[in-house]
Each structure stands twice: as structure tokens, then as C-alpha cells.
Amino acid sequence: MPAYLNEIGTAVPVHDVHAPYLEIAPYFLPSETERRSFAKMAKRAGITHRYSTLEPADPSRWTDRYDAEGFYRPGAFPTTGERMKRYSREAPLLVDRALADLAKRAGGGWAEGLTHLVICTCTGFAAPGLDHHLVNAHGIPSTVERTLIGFMGCNAAINGYKTARHIVISDPSAKVLVLNVELCGLHFQENAPLQTALMFMLFADGAAAALVSAEPTGFELEAFRSDMLPDSRDHITWDIGDDGFDMWLSGRVPRTIFKNLPGHFETLAAAAGRDIDLWAIHPGGRTIIDAVEASLSLTPADVACSRGVLNDFGNMSSATLPFVLQRMLSQPRAGRTGVAIGFGPGVSVESMVFSEAAQ
């Protein structure tokens, strides 16, 4: 019995922080050379909007605070514990909005018959956590089977869908809710070099909620592939520090993807066994999409959906790829075959083959 990705709901916070960040980031850079480099890269980033749970402060308050509430204060940035408390407060609210969007698309009875819950996140942790919130706030049975996919990074959505597919194939009566929620804005660092400031320019907050079941609607989840690219262990790292989570994103990542992705895709294409019509590339950044486009000889039209999500929302880590898939689901045409590809620490690659169900 096949498994299907039936529908996806998404949500972002209300505060658009991209333009304010471009204005304030140069204050953290020590030299005019770095400030010029930052401005040049910002113009080429392919991002217009990014959203955060934190409201930017008025520039007149920058000597006192960088956000309206004072979560980030000069010389007094929050500890990891304080950031996790904020995550525990904000993540459920954003998840609720993603579920409201799911209800609009899938119907108000989305929770009926729900048997499994898969939560993917890498930006915050608490127990009891989002699983308990969902049971208490959304009428999900307390007997729902729960799985947490934690700290895998930007490609975790594909792992979530793969886990859901395994569940449905083993039990065709199962109905799985897959959640991706990321609050990347909680991990801003005060004493950041240029490379880190450029990384913060990419990331944003977002959430996605998807239903996977044996009901033949949406996308059939056909095949999956995992890989770790050679000699790339230090290219993307994500560590828990004393003052938030610390990320490193090497400038070598695009070249590593360009060099190694054809071999990964060859096996995936064999699993598909037919031409690929849809390309859901994780919008990890403009250069990431560029590398995939060049490596697999794609056209600008092939990656337009991914570039559109990057422009409109930035990189929301594991929540980003579902935004791309949601846009594809909203324009159904039966029979098309698609590939989704995401990248995470390692550099690790997760990918899947999907096809549109008959309408």
C-alpha cells in the first residue's frame, strides 16, 4: 500500500526582520572592508523577506536593545537556557498557526483518526514539549505514537516524511502528522565574524504541518536516499554552545554539492525510472540552489519555486522544503514526478522521489 503526502500547512511569524537586519548587521562588523563585503553579499542573496518571533527595535534604541522586548541587549545576550525558554513559549504558537493553515487546506477534521506524530526541529528542545501541547490543545488522543527527529538540520523534513512513509506502509490505517518548526532567530550571536553575520542573513523562523496517510491524494512518496558527502564533515556544523546554538557554514559547501550530487542523483533517478518534472530543492541559500542547478544541468524554471521560497521567507532550516512542496501541491497536475533534495550538517544529503496522485 503506497503512502501519500496529502497536504501541508505553513506559517511564519508576523515580524519581517530582513531589512532591519541588513541595517543593523554592519554595527557588529569591526572594519569598513567587512561592512562593504556584507553589503555586497546582501544584494546578491536573493532574499527579500525573513520573519522572526522577535520584533526589531527602533534604531533609536540600538544602544539599549536590538529587539523591541530586549531579548538581545548589547553586552547581555541571552544564555542557551534563556533561549530554550523562549523557544518553549513561541514554538507552540507558530505550530498552532501552521495547523490552522492545514485545516483550511485539508479540512477541519484533520486530527480525526490521527495515529502518529513526528516532530522535526533543531532550534529548541523541551520536555514535555510540542507533543504534549498538541494533545492538550488540538484534541489529539493521548495514545498517539510520538517520534522526535532532533538536531538533523535543514534536511530533516525529508527524514520526517520517510519515517511517516515507513509507518503507513507497515500499517495502512495509520495517519501521521509531520511537524517542522524552527526558530532560527533565537540563536543570534553578538560577537560574530563576517562569515557568521552572512549566515544570520539567511536564516528565519517558520513552521510546517503535513499529513501522510494511505489516502491517494497529494504526492505519493515513492523512494528515498540518504548520503554523506566525502571530506565534508566540517563544512556545515551545528553545535550547542553556552550562548545559544553555534552554526558554521563553510564557503566550500556549494563546490562540494556541485562535485558530488550527480553520483547521488544517479541512484535516485534510477529509482524514479522516468523523467523528473518537479524539482523541490532546499532553499538553503542562493549559492546552494546555484550549485544544484549547475550540477544537475537544471533550467531556471526547474528551480524557480525554490528561489521563490528563498526570496519570500529565507532559510527556515527543516521547515523550508515543506514550503516549496506546498506551492507544488497547490498547482496539481496528475502524473508528474518530482524529486526533493535537502542538505544538512556533514554535509549530509536527504532526497526523495514523489509523484502526483490522480485527481
- DSSP structure class, residue 26: G
Report if pTM > 0.85.
yes
Domain positions in the chain: 4-213, 219-356
Distance from C-alpha of 199 to C-alpha of 284, rounded to nearest angstrom: 10
What value does the mean pLDDT of the chain take? 92
Contact present, 63 and 74 (Cβ < 8 Å): yes
Per-residue model confidence (pLDDT) at position 125: 92
17-31, 137-151, 159-173, 201-215: least confidently modelled range: 17-31
- The highest-confidence range among 12-16, 37-41, 235-239, by mean pLDDT, is 12-16
Tell me if the bond preceding 347 is cis, omega within 30° of 0.
Answer: yes
Asked if domains 4-213 and 219-356 share a fold, the reply is yes
- DSSP structure class, residue 51: E
Please report which confidence band the pLDDT of residue 239 belongs to, taking 50, 70 and 90 as the band edges: confident
Tell me whether residue 305 is one of the annotated catalytic residues. Answer: no
More confident residue, 191 or 6: 6
Report the run of H or E that residue 195 belongs to, with start and end. helix 194-200
Please report which confidence band the pLDDT of residue 212 belongs to, taking 50, 70 and 90 as the band edges: very high
At the top level of CATH, the class of 4-213 is alpha beta
Among 122, 154, 184, 305, the one annotated catalytic: 154
Fold category of 219-356 in CATH: Peroxisomal Thiolase; Chain A, domain 1 (3.40.47)
C-alpha closest to that of 13 among 129, 85, 95: 95
More confident residue, 76 or 268: 76
Please report which confidence band the pLDDT of residue 248 belongs to, taking 50, 70 and 90 as the band edges: confident
> Average pLDDT for residues 265-293, to the nearest whole number?
89
Quote the cell numbers at residue 75. 553586552
20-24, 120-124, 167-171, 290-294: least confidently modelled range: 20-24
What percent of the chain clears pLDDT 90, i.e. is strictly above it?
70
Per-residue model confidence (pLDDT) at position 359: 62
Per-residue model confidence (pLDDT) at position 255: 92
Quote the cell numbers at residue 258. 556541485
**What Cα–Cα distance (Å) separates residue 101 from each residue in 3, 119, 131, 244?**
22, 17, 19, 30
Distance from C-alpha of 115 to C-alpha of 99, rounded to nearest angstrom: 16
Per-residue model confidence (pLDDT) at position 29: 86
CB neighbour class for 328 (10 Å; exposed up to 12, middle 13-18, buried from 19): buried
* pLDDT exceeds 90 at position 324: yes
